[in-house]
Chains A and B, each alone.
Chain A
Amino acid sequence: MELSKPFPLRKLPTLMFRKVLSYLPPHELILLAQCSKITKSFVRAYYPRKLSMTMSFSHFEIQIFEDGQCYEYSATSPDPFRHPTVYCRYPTEESVKRTLELMDTFYNTLGATLAMIKLYSLGEVDVSIIIDRVHRNQPELQRLKWKVVQVSESTKHCILEKLKLRELIIEFSKWFKLSDLLSLSSTCAKFALERSTWTGEDLNALLKEWVKGRLPNLSFFWIESQRFDEETAKNGLELLDSNLLPVGQSSGNSSGM
């Protein structure tokens, strides 16, 4: 049987080339880009869709979002683009490295921007490496979810000041003080502090600073603590009923504004 000649993909008119690319899922585009440097530059230049991604360091995986569709890629798969849901066990350092490489591939080939990072139970060195690598590609990040029990002052500032964050969610946030929040760059619009040790005075001080305009971009603040009461938090402030929304819990209190 005579084999058909190759289809000259790179010779297609631009409009057609873009259409063909738009029908390929992210992993097939990456595999196509791996054919040659020129093909990669074509894919990068003509891929018409806007992609965003999230990077999780609990499962070491990347999710790619495109027009409501989500594709998941395990960074610990030996071949994430052909077998995206195969999970292997590597030392944490290696898993972090592979996840960052995957992020770079999606960024460099398809221009996928990182929307969220989940930093779970990682050492300070790993966290610093991750933030540095992300910062190389983009100075801003929509959302950072950080779960860490303890963190040094230097790492804390390195992490929180390097990227311009729009949303910051800290789990186990005992280490995150009022002064940390006030010293953060004013780009952050949403804060959530889970399991914090803030007192009513802390919350009250924050609210007063916020009213004064110290955090002009802040639009939402949520905190969970066992150590404050609503009256202290409201002291000296004139509040509309709808502004402070305490949620009673058996183990503590949380408030959202």
Chain B
Amino acid sequence: MSVEPEVPIVQVEEVRENPVLYKIISSDNHVFTISEHAVKLSKTLWDLITNLGLTAENALDNPIPVENVNGKNMETIVQFCERHKYDEEEPEYTNYIREFVLPEWDRQLLSIDNEELFQLILATNYLDIQKLMDYCCRVIGDMAKDKTPEELRIIYGIPTDAEDDALERSASDSPGPSG
């Protein structure tokens, strides 16, 4: 019987860790520190950092305000980015493999209530974090497994045809911008 050697993950991470850190301020004034490798997963943040000319020397003195994302979501996002910062880039087609199983760590991270998940996905979209977007969408898609249309209507909050018609009527009855 072979015994697998213990992998010194922490040491490896330490060796690979880039010392450059950035500060991010959420919409409700929570401050987060994030490493350079992790922040690169967000195209929006990395573009911002590049455009602002932040460097290893001045990064921590110039926190980046992100007004569209609250602290709770930012915490999840930072955790996710730190977790996946050394992942190898996946070929584009991987996103389309339906049988892909979400890693357990990520499933746990995304086991939040639907309202929070919706806000998180909007934040992810704003920050343009491809991998987290994909994972969130998989969680949303998985909700549909083995469900009837009636169950799906409840899970996804889909109005019936009659409710849609009523909503449309009330929207057309309400006064427009001019009065």
Contacts and interface: CB of A to CB of B under 8 A. Distances in A.
- A and B: bona fide binding partners: yes
Interface of A: 4-13, 15-16, 19-25, 28, 31-32, 34-39, 49, 67, 69, 82
Given A16-B136, A37-B161, 11 more contacts: A8-B156, A19-B95, A20-B140, A23-B98, A23-B142, A28-B147, A31-B147, A32-B149, A36-B164, A39-B158, A69-B98
A7 B155 CA distance: 6
A197 B21 CA distance: 81
Nearest to A79: B148
Q: Is the contact region of chain B dominated by helix, strand, or loop, or is it mixed?
A: helix
Contacts of A69: 98
Nearest to A2: B113
Interface stretch (B56-64, B84-92, B118-126): B118-126
A92 B95 CA distance: 42
A31 B164 contact: no
Contacts of B117: 7
B96 A9 contact: no
Given A7-B118, A8-B118, A36-B164, A16 B125 contact: yes
A25 B147 CA distance: 13
A248 B114 CA distance: 67
Interface of B: 95-96, 98, 113-115, 117-118, 121-122, 125, 133-134, 136-138, 140-149, 152-161, 164
Nearest to B159: A36
B148 A82 contact: yes
Nearest to A29: B144
A6 B150 CA distance: 13
Contact of A35 (B96, B122, B145, B153): B153
A242 B96 CA distance: 43
Nearest to A34: B149
A36 B152 contact: no
A37 to B, nearest CB: 5
Contacts of A23: 98, 137-138, 141-142
